[in-house]
């Protein structure tokens, strides 16, 4: 579930990072990079990802940042983002980083992106060809012997845009949000009726997270603790939207009550 705000979740990809030094010559920490999100009105969405550059300020190397490329080592680098929903995860890889601080992650895209609507394929070209590298700044201290997760949340609501009406074409404006795995909360629930393809928004003072439901009406967020406003958009003018607020101040996963969209009077 960017703001890609690609929390690109729902979807999950784990990438591995290899240090340039001998693995036994210095202390290391394990890093998992997770890609999350889900589609709404689209039958399926494919995004090609070559890998991720992780920039690290290693301890003892002041002003000498190191970049580690995590290649997605799949024969077909086109990831079916539409399958990464409701907590499903795709393992891309796993490796170690030197201890220090992660200060940036750059997602490197390929050029083969597409989606299907009613079994018709639409090629997704990047609106701006220079957007094949999406840089996300962060600040994550990494210590020896600890496993860390980074969540790359791709917001398909914002990433897929209609480019023209006649003929009907779409384009890709890749929108991602980087969320630290530590200190996040899993929030899930069910929306009905299942015939709808709703979008769910979690809005804080600084960020907006979006996701959608799977075929069983289930949705899942992984977000930092904080106060959020919720907006459930049925994506159907026959139904009323739903809004409420929630204070997620405790580091406890939560399951919300089932919500059924009401028909407009």
Check whether the bond before 167 is cis (ω within 30° of 0). yes
The answer to whether the beta carbons of residues 140 and 100 sit under 8 Å apart is no
Task: Select, from the ranges 2-6, 57-61, 253-257, the one with the highest average predicted confidence (pLDDT).
Answer: 253-257
Nearest to residue 187, comparing CAs of 115, 262, 250, 105? 250
Domain-embedded: residue 215: yes
Q: Is 1 inside any structural domain?
A: no
Tokens 């929030």, residue? 187
pLDDT in tens, 70-93: 888 888 899 988 777 666 666 665
- Give how many domains the chain has, as a whole number: 1
Residue 198 inside a domain? The answer is: yes
What is the model's pTM?
A: 0.65
pLDDT at 222 over 90: no
Q: Which tokens go with 147?
A: 């496993």
Q: Where is pLDDT greater, at 156 or 2?
A: 156
6 belongs to a structural domain: no
Domain that holds residue 252: 13-260
Mean of all residue pLDDT scores within the chain: 80
169 falls within a domain = yes
DSSP state of 146: -
pLDDT digits (tens, 9 = 90+) for 15-67: 333 334 444 456 777 777 767 654 456 778 999 999 999 999 988 766 678 89
3-class DSSP assignment, residue 86: coil
Residues 6 or more apart whose Cβ sits within 8 Å of residue 240 = 234, 261, 262, 263, 264
- For the stretch 94-133, pLDDT in tens is 678 888 899 999 999 999 999 998 889 999 999 999 899 9
Mean pLDDT for the stretch of residues 243-255 = 83
Non-local (6+) Cβ contacts of 9 within 8 A are 1, 34, 35, 36, 37, 38, 84, 151, 152, 153, 154, 211, 222
Give a yes or no: residue 185 inside a domain. Answer: yes
Give the integer Cα–Cα distance in Å for 111 and 46: 11
Residue 5 within any structural domain of the chain: no
Instruction: Let me know if residue 194 belongs to a domain.
Output: yes
Q: Is the pLDDT of residue 240 over 80?
A: yes
- Which carries the bigger pLDDT value, residue 203 or residue 24? 203
């Amino acid at each position: 579930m960017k703001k890609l705000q690609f929390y690109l979740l729902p979807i999950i990809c784990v990438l591995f990072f290899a240090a340039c030094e001998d693995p036994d010559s210095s202390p290391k920490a394990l890093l998992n990079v997770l890609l999350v999100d889900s589609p709404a009105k689209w039958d399926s969405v494919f995004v090609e990802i070559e890998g991720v550059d992780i920039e690290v300020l290693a301890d003892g190397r002041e002003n000498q940042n190191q970049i580690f490329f995590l290649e997605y080592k799949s024969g077909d680098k086109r990831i079916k983002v539409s399958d990464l929903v409701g907590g499903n995860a795709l393992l891309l890889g796993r490796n170690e980083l030197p201890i220090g601080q992660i200060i940036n992650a750059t997602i490197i895209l390929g050029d083969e992106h597409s989606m299907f609507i009613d079994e018709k394929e639409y090629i997704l070209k990047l609106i701006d060809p220079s957007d094949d590298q999406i840089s996300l700044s962060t600040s994550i201290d990494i210590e020896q012997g600890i496993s860390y997760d980074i969540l790359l949340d791709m917001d398909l609501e914002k990433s897929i845009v209609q480019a023209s009406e006649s003929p009907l074409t779409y384009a890709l404006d890749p929108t991602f949000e980087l969320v630290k795995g530590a200190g996040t909360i899993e929030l899930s629930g069910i929306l009905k009726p299942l015939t709808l393809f709703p979008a769910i928004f979690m809005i804080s003072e600084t960020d907006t997270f979006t996701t959608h439901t799977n075929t069983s009406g289930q949705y899942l967020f992984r977000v930092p603790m904080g106060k959020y406003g919720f907006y459930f958009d049925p994506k159907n003018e026959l139904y009323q939207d739903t809004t409420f607020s929630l204070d997620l101040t405790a580091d406890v996963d939560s399951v919300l009550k089932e919500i059924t969209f009401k028909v407009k009077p």
